[in-house]
Structure 1
Amino acid sequence: MSSFPVDLPEFPDEVVTEAYVRFVEPPGLGGRAALITLDNGYDHTKPTSMGPAGMRNLWAALDEALASDAKFVAVTGKPFIFLAGADIKMMPLLESREQGLAMAQAGHVLYKRLKDASVPTFAFINGTALGGGMELALHCHYRTVSASAVALGLPEVSIGLIPGWGGSQILPNLIGPEAAAQVIIGNPLNQNKMLRGPDLTKLGIADAQFEAADFIEESVAWATAVVNGEIAVERPEIDRGESWQAVVAGARKLVDEKIHNASPAAMKALDLLELARTASFEEGSLAEDEALADLEMAPEFKTSLYAFNLVRQLGKRPEGAPSPGLAKEIGKVGVVGAGLMAGQIALMFARRLEVPVVMTDLDAERAERGLEYVRGEIDKLEAKGRASRLKAAKLRSLVSASADKGVYADCDLVIEAVFEELKVKQAVFAEVEQVVSEECLLVTNTSGLSVTAMASKLARPERLVGMHFFNPVAVMPLVEVIATSSTDEETLATAYAVAKQLKKTAVGSADRPAFIVNRLLGRMLAEVTGAVDEGTPVEVADVALDR
């Protein structure tokens, strides 16, 4: 067997991905096929990733498979995981640009064996395929995907990098520059939006799609038919003329309007997409190597990686959160108010918790208006294909409205989203407390008022907690959880558990004016207005934070 051609640094804490080769004899093939399975020995909660040891293992597996009499070679992953890309934990350990360049070159050298293989190569994308995992699949001649696969994409731009193992060069030439720009730049900058199995099929990244139950068997049978010439895979002709240039120019304008100069990675990714129109694959690969090595040393990547790791850590166990075992189960939710924020909160609880949600307001007309807003948003979800007809019907049945707060009597959680005035909120909680059960949690969505002051008027202050959601509620991933000195462990544990069920990142905040986010925003705006007071032209100050 050949040795790995790139000298890579060692990372003692690498969770090593093995590459197991087995040979199968599909009916009708008239010979053997080599199936390589990537597996790190853990279940799906610890996805496979590609570090130096994993690269060497895949290299050895390709040595064995490509030197055999196999009529085709296929790569797949352990259950629910194809490959989650480069090992992100090792990136802060890179000591120099040279090490980063070596890692970039290693990925190209390794994956190119699949692209240049003399026998057909296939990627059987059975689950999560991110970054370098998706790029491995792109190097294969053909791809199948599981219909239930989730977490698919090229998210590198979201953490200050670019798809540096061939993604920026192969993808636009496979599905066109416009779709590629959306996958490589648009999705990462849109809350790091992920793709699903059917999305890969629709985009033309996957050539065939099969159900999860018999995915590998169906993929092997399909690959056999392709190799035998029984199935012809047709791909669209990509226009590499002026339209490609126009797409890139338009994308540059959109990116500049959205983030200005805050993401060098996004602009570098666009440079590489533009290069992919005319450059050879080798030239494009060299450009990716250099770009990746530069970006890995940039401060934007280091701060993005810090934020990524912080959010991931908070997602597992937020700092200061009590044991999840203390959390209560929520079976019905009440929302006080029927305005815009209240309607968004009501819909979020219905979608994520799938429990009855009831809204109230000062009179039946206001309550009905709020309910109509929620129903309108559900209609939009259905029209966009984000909710099936049955799902939309279920959501409509879960949300109701009334002018009578007596509907909160059997609620497990009641959250207020009324006018941001302390006396108004105190009056609301005083009224609600007379109706709800002893076990019901009371939650305020205040953006900065004293939760302690609200609790001071309650008979049972220990069951009040703050959960500050941001607008638009469905999009913003953060929720501030605010406990008072009276809030008990059960209430706090439930707030964090609910935030997780709502798919939000919860962060604990002290009960201080404006909490965390708005407090920082106030300080930032104070610097801007202070600069204006000291003579900076308003026109300059207005765009200062864009640059």
Structure 2
Amino acid sequence: MTNELFNRNRYSAILQAAEDEVITESKVRDVPLPGNRTLALITLDNNQDYKRPNTLGPNTLAQLGELLVTLAQRAGAGEIHAVAVTGKRFNFAAGADLSLVGQIPDTVAARQMAELGHDTLGLFSKLGVPSFALVNGMALGGGLEVALHCDYRVLDSSCPAVAFPETYLGLVPGWGGATITPNLIGIENALRVIIENPLKMNRMLGAEQAYELGLFDRLINPVNFIEDSLKFITAVLDGEKVKRPNEPGKLERAVKWDAAIKIARKSLEQKIGEVPQAPYRALEILAAVKKGDREAGFELENQALGDLVASDQFMASMYGFNLVQKRAKRPVGAPDSALARPITKVGVIGAGLMASQFALLFARRLQVPVVMTDLDQERVDRGVASVQAEIDKLLDKNRISTDTHARLKGLVTGTTDRQQFADCDWVIEAVFEELSVKQQVFSEFEEIVPEDAIMATNTSSLSVAEIGEPLKHPERLIGFHFFNPVAVMPLVEVVKVDSTSDETLATAMAVAKQLKKNAVIVRDRPGFVVNRLLARMLGEVMHAVDTGTSAEVADTALEPMGLPMSPFTLLELIGLKVGAHVLRSHHEPYPDRFFDSASLHDLADRDAKLLKRDGKGSVTGYTRELQAVVGSEGNSPLTAEQLLERTQNALADEVKIMLDEQVVTAAEDLDLCLILGAGFPLINGGLTPYLDRIGASERVFGGTFHTPKILGAATREAAS
């Protein structure tokens, strides 16, 4: 029977490769049930700190497979009447052990990993008795697939996250998830969970959302989770029928399924282009499994994982993922956190759009009074009203309670009386991006705030040191550069100047953490990291337009880079005036590398648009205003290939210069900034591994930013 159901020897190659695996043991105990019945309860436990999630590596899966074979034998002998699987305290399973990915040598081994997952988890439906998943905590990726293979599933209502993050990481749910999910909850819900949510910065489901979608049969209170789960198991064994209203019917399979796939494909093409492989491979599987054939779906998953795990895109994704999950949480260069000062009141200088976003964020996350000011009471009132309206929206969306709603409204005030800043210990300016204006503001407010209050500037392109020149206490100065929209973008560039004290820097890092932002410490150089590289890229694009390259070629030439949006979409998002200012502010200190664009300034002054859109907001072409400036500085058009290579080379050149200038401590911090602050895709690993892989680093300076280890299997094989 062992050979029929599970044979460890089939997977010897992948088991030997995973020698560093942290084993999650499958511990089993018998639990008596009413009616003289017995439940075999499996607990997944990696024997680590309960805060460290269970993961599923090859050896863990093999051990679980052998245990399930034993339980199938016991079921056949009438010793047990049901099998259930749960997790250790607060945790079910976080999916595959991704730390082992670098040890998978080739596509054959990668496919073997997929087959091992299918063969092991598939045993939950071959036990001869009902199987139950008692999901008592986070269930991600392979952890959720464990539950899906069981006949029935219950979920702890306090579970913080249920998700398939695979397409975010360059994979597909490859242990049954892509096949079982649409046949359980319908194609539209499956598209949301498997493709849409991961591509929205890895959005996850809460417990109630997961239950309402139909991924689970019951939502159970954590106080009596095991006891109530056992009651559910008993009821099922006694014959209770479980209804699953979202399971697809004949009409959905015949008509709705293909239509939903077609719409999803078009949406992917518009949002992410065609460079990322994983979302499209997932879409292919979802399209193919509408007849409910599990074996055929599992084979497609095997093929997809075999190809993707060994791909450059996945290796780059893991590099980027590790930056976000590890490096971002331990910022390089941060002083001892014990030096940080407590913040009890925040002052926001300005009451415009950015200032209003600051006020809401600081009030919500720090839970301290926030006072706003501006040139006149009308502007102040508008700013405060904007914040109050956003607080109302949070309540309407059930993201805050009524008590929190009232408290936040009471925390945010506005005034033209600057003396109200006299007890602020953190002051941040969000005024016009002009050096003299910011200097004047800081000079005036320094006379009002306490001597040890932090003076933070949100400048995106000016020198922080020059802004702080009028200060009598420059040690309190820090750059604190957010990205728009402030509530969404996770990055803050913390700009340290020579005068910044360790206490100020430690406080800034602590505040960023309290705001739930990832902070990267950068040197005070023009544009810091994100804006400097975007300016170099956009300068190349606008220069191409000005010298005769068509709008369509200029806007689409960079598509192979897999960027989150096209250059003209980005310019319209940030605003043409801001874009023109950014290009000029970089051209002035570096005229030999950064192109200014008189035509962009002209378009900005006329409040022109670059893109034509239909009634749904989809881009349909380019405006006459943009077409009119093509060739305004000459007629030397570039092909798409030429512009792409020029831009790649320019970025490699700028990265090398920035690292030589020590704008950040390492290429990893630069990549982290671009991933978190500009949405650079994980499938590139940010920017520097991409520049290495496509040869731009070699073309520009005859080297690479990284060792071959992180560049991907395909790249390593090509190099050898």
Considering only aligned residues, what root-mean-square deviation do their CA atoms show, in Å? 1.7
Distance 1:279 1:123, change over 3 A: closer
Equivalent residues of 1:168, 1:269 under 8 A apart: yes
| Larger helix percent | 2
Partner of 1:6: 11
Of structures 1 and 2, the larger Rg is shown by: 2
Structure 1 residues 452 and 19: CA distance shift in structure 2, 3 A: same
Give the Cα–Cα distance (whole angstroms) in 2 for the partners of residues 152 and 230 of structure 1.
26
Matches within 5 A, 1:183-222: 183-222=193-232
Contact 2:213–2:246 (8 Å) recurs in 1:
no
Q: 1:358 maps to what in 2? A: 371
Q: 2:32 aligns with which of 25, 29, 43?
A: 25
- Preserved contact between residue 449 and residue 513 of structure 1 (Cα < 8 Å): yes
Report the CA distance shift for 1:29/1:315 in structure 2 as closer, same or farther (over 3 A).
farther
Shift of 1:302: 1.8
Whether the 8 Å CA contact 1:144–1:208 is kept in 2: the answer is yes
Which residue in the other structure is 1:46 paired with?
52
How far off is 1:98 after superposition? 0.6
CA distance in 2, matches of 1:317, 1:34: 42
State which of 63, 66, 71 in structure 2 corresponds to 1:60: 66
CA drift at 1:310: 1.1
Residue 378, structure 1, aligned to residue 391, structure 2: yes
Match of 2:409 among 396, 413, 417: 396
Rounded Cα–Cα distance in structure 1 between residues aligned with 2:219 and 2:247 = 22
TM-superposition CA deviations, 1:214-238 (whole Å, max 9, x none): 2222212222222222463444341
- Where does 1:528-543 land on structure 2 (aligned, <5 Å)? 528-532=541-545, 535-543=548-556
Distance in 1 separating the partners of 2:284 and 2:274: 14
Shift of 1:528: 2.2
SS at match of 2:17: coil
User: Would the aligned equivalents of 2:328 and 2:520 in 1 still touch at CA under 8 Å?
Assistant: no
How many angstroms does 1:307 deviate by? 0.9
Q: Once the 2 structures are TM-superposed, how far is the Cα of residue 455 of structure 1 from its aligned partner? A: 2.1
Answer yes or no: is 1:150 the counterpart of 2:156.
no
Aligned position for 2:135: 125
Say if 1:268 and 1:277 are closer, same or farther in 2 by CA, change over 3 A.
same
> In terms of mean alpha carbon deviation, does 248-257 or 110-119 score higher?
110-119
Pick from 170, 180, 183: which aligns with 1:170?
180
Residue 95 of structure 1 aligns with which residue? 105
Residue in structure 2 matched with residue 490 of structure 1 by the alignment: 503
Is residue 2:424 matched to residue 1:411? yes
Distance 1:231 1:490, change over 3 A: farther
Once residues 256 and 101 of structure 1 are traced to their aligned partners in structure 2, the CA distance between those partners, rounded to angstroms, is 27
SS state at 2:559 partner: coil
Q: Residues 117 and 403 of structure 1: is their aligned pair in 2 closer, same or farther, counting only changes over 3 Å? A: farther
Whether the aligned pair in 2 keeps the contact of 1:451 and 1:484 (CA below 8 Å) is: yes
Give per-residue Cα distances to partners, 1:56-105, cap 9 Å, x unaligned: 22123323433332221111111111100001111122111111111011
Is the Cα–Cα contact under 8 Å of residues 140 and 165 in structure 2 kept in the other structure? yes
How many pairs does the alignment contain?
546
Assess if the C-alpha contact under 8 Å between 1:314 and 1:506 holds in 2: no
CA distance in 2 between counterparts of 1:279 and 1:211 reads 32
Letter in 1 for 2:63: N
One-letter amino acid matched to 1:434 = E
Aligned pair in 2 of structure 1 residues 163, 484: CA closer, same or farther (>3 Å)? same
> What is the CA distance between 1:131 and its match in structure 2?
0.7
Residues 388-397 or 200-209, more deviating: 388-397
Distance 1:358 1:456 in 2: 25
CA contact (8 A) 2:352 2:383 kept: yes
Q: Which is worse superposed, 284-293 or 537-546?
A: 537-546
Change (3 A) 1:232 1:97: closer
Q: Which of residues 92, 100, 117 is equivalent to 1:82?
A: 92
Instruction: Return the TM-score normalized by structure 1.
Output: 0.96
SS in 2 for 1:240: helix
Q: 1:45 to 1:315 in 2, by over 3 A?
A: farther
TM-fit CA distance, 1:332: 2.0
1:259 lines up with 2:265 in the alignment = no
When residues 131 and 29 of structure 1 are mapped into structure 2, their CA distance, relative to the original with a 3 A threshold, is: farther
The range that moved more, 468-477 or 527-536, is: 527-536
Tell me the TM-score normalized by structure 2: 0.73
SS at the partner of 2:356? helix
How much has 1:29 moved relative to structure 2?
Answer: 4.5
Equivalent-residue separation in structure 1 for 2:247 and 2:103 (angstroms): 42
- Which residue of 513, 538, 551 maps to 1:525? 538
Q: Which moved further from structure 2: 167-176 or 261-270?
A: 261-270
1:472 maps onto 2:479 in alignment: no
1:145 and 1:425 map into 2 onto residues whose CA distance is 53
Give, in angstroms, the shift of residue 212 of structure 1.
2.1
